[in-house]
A and B are shown apart, each in its own frame.
Chain A
């Protein structure tokens, strides 16, 4: 009882001291300190983006029109999804260069399954002709379940490629740059090989809606998917023990291992999640373009890594978070 009472008094004292200290600090804060605080805040990019946006409005009033805002955001939803996955890998101190090829390969594989028709003159020379695709389309052509099944297939393929990357990085301690560069080159060319560089057209109208459709004419389907994945990413990093393990592994892998963190499993998870996110981004990109395209993500590496880094994730690992302002 005495101990409890003592502890309570200490807590109370600490709380009072805390209040006192806060009050003292508040009194001492000058304009310079406030500015410095804003500049050094982890939300600095967000503040800067808002300032930038507001400053541009008088010069380009069209920037705040509904159509422009919807268009800008629609361009950014798929990038946000992919960047969330990249953030997980960057937090480990790694990098996933293969995301761009995952986008291409899943775009091709997902769309060939659901396409309603293939031009024989163009596709007869592809390795998929005859056993997987034909003049009447892919195996899921005209099926009611085509869209969800094919998107799930895309996500599965992306995750498997991510697991492959993570396994080699975790198990054999191979540099992530090298592992993912090799998988990037392999899968990019594999995607081109599958369709002999041809685009896959003839996709169902429902799939197109994923890229361009709105719920109630206001909320894009792509936004819902992007925000869902962002929230999952945020939840994992901020609310789960797994998130602490990811930060710990990225900050100091040896110390984490000694502390009982299953660093190998954490590493494999992060790469798998990165592959998953790349595949989800691929579904949105493919739906927007209304085609499967083997070279779809080819030029996106800098956009993806740039989005994650500008969003506050350190390339050295252990620092960063998943947030909406990865977008700017």
Chain B
């Protein structure tokens, strides 16, 4: 009986696989483009942050609307799976790949696989760690954007120091250092801090690995060991709720103007950051121009596929900008998070 049950379960699993193999009806035709149907594989890491969710939505919707067939590949943060999925896609006669790599090293490996198969590849938002292989990389100038944001935070810190004569204790939530974006953001942070080193104590680095649970545990430990932390830069906006959950019980989640306010900044420009800036909890955030990046990525891959370019090699830089309490009126709707929020 047990064996029969096991057999039935196994059959059910196999049947599910079989059904899963059925080709999903793709949106084709009805598009605005007259060109032949191109098949684009879109490999992404996960959809954990608002930035990735929005990027995924814009890329897939635009491609489908234009009449292209999209093969979506979610590797759930696993580099090995990302390589396997892209290799699978390469056997399906695809015309191009857009990839959000797990990290910069994986971008190098997957680029090599695409180059071997003569398929053009666009690396979106997370650049490869080396220039081996040919790809089109669309990436924000993370160091400059982070520096501009932290410059504004340092201005606020200076004003506070002049008022209290007490040095501030800065803290940075560092992303996964396998990701060049995380390194660049960290460099931008230090470049700004070093301009006014005299008003700060030693910087406290909190590793997050781009994971909210890891960030929570490490930030809790850091705040316990250093209760004076009053200046936090988060390398990604998606960690603001994590910061709130750690500092709120300590009475430090306060609006600008309150003496317990922690000078707070981030980078990405998502809707949560936009809301927190509006409410006065966050001083500023670096904004990646998501619309510019997705548009450039789509344009690049479609052009390469239509022109038969198999190994285009180019870096497209998104200059980014800092949205702060100082320029909020002027630049509020330039931030993709606010624009998406308003649309919804």
Contacts and interface: CB of A to CB of B under 8 A. Distances in A.
**A and B: partners?**
yes
A310 B10 contact: yes
Contacts of A201: 105, 108, 129-130
B225 interface: no
Contact of A48 (B11, B22, B93): B11
B176 interface: yes
Nearest to B76: A299
Interface string A271-311: 00000000000000100111101001011000000000010
Interface string B252-265: 00000000000000
Interface string A81-123: 0000000000000000000000000000000000000000010
A289 B91 contact: no
Interface in B76-97: 76-81, 83-84, 87-88, 90-93
A49 B21 CA distance: 13
A72 B21 CA distance: 14
B142 interface: no
A34 interface: no
A39 B11 CA distance: 9
Interface of B: 3-4, 7, 10-11, 13-14, 17-18, 21-23, 76-81, 83-84, 87-88, 90-93, 103, 105-106, 108-109, 112, 129-130, 176-178, 183, 207, 209
Which of B78, B79, B129 has the most A CB atoms < 10 Å from its CB? B79
Interface stretch (A20-28, A58-66, A131-139): A58-66
23 contacts: A39-B7, A40-B4, A52-B17, A56-B18, A60-B23, A68-B88, A71-B87, A71-B88, A71-B91, A196-B177, A197-B177, A197-B209, A199-B178, A201-B130, A285-B80, A288-B80, A288-B83, A289-B109, A290-B109, A290-B112, A291-B109, A296-B79, A298-B78
A45 B76 CA distance: 28
B80 A65 contact: no
Interface of A: 39-40, 44-45, 48-49, 52, 55-56, 59-60, 62, 65, 67-68, 71-72, 74-75, 122, 196-199, 201, 285, 288-291, 293, 296, 298-299, 310
3 residue pairs, one from A and one from B, having the closest CB atoms: A199-B105, A68-B91, A67-B91
A60 B17 CA distance: 13
B91 A65 contact: yes
B106 A40 contact: no
B178 A198 contact: yes
A56 B22 CA distance: 8
Which of B11, B13, B91 has the most A CB atoms < 10 Å from its CB? B91
A44 B9 CA distance: 12
Which of B11, B80, B176 has the most A CB atoms < 10 Å from its CB? B80
Contacts of A44: 7, 10
A16 to B, nearest CB: 33
Contacts of A68: 88, 91-92
A56 B87 contact: no
Contacts of A39: 4, 7
Given A197-B178, A289-B109, A296 B18 contact: no
A3 B18 CA distance: 61
B84 A75 contact: yes
B10 A289 contact: no
A98 B52 CA distance: 32
B88 A197 contact: no
B64 to A, nearest CB: 21
Contact of B103 (A72, A199, A285): A199
Nearest to A38: B7
Contacts of A293: 79, 105
A289 B107 CA distance: 10
Nearest to A202: B130
A62 B177 CA distance: 39
Contacts of B7: 39-40, 44
Contacts of B23: 59-60
Nearest to B82: A289
A299 B21 contact: no
Nearest to B129: A201
Contacts of B17: 52
A81 B329 CA distance: 60
B18 A122 contact: no
A310 B9 CA distance: 10
B169 to A, nearest CB: 22
Nearest to B104: A199
Which of B77, B178, B209 has the most A CB atoms < 10 Å from its CB? B178
Given A59-B23, A65-B91, A289 B178 contact: no
Contacts of A72: 88
B190 to A, nearest CB: 13
A299 B81 contact: yes
Contacts of B108: 201, 290
Contacts of B13: 310
Which of B7, B22, B130, B207 has the most A CB atoms < 10 Å from its CB? B7
Contact of B80 (A52, A197, A289): A289
A74 B202 CA distance: 49
Given A197-B176, A198-B177, A299-B78, A291 B83 contact: no
Which of B3, B87, B92 has the most A CB atoms < 10 Å from its CB? B87
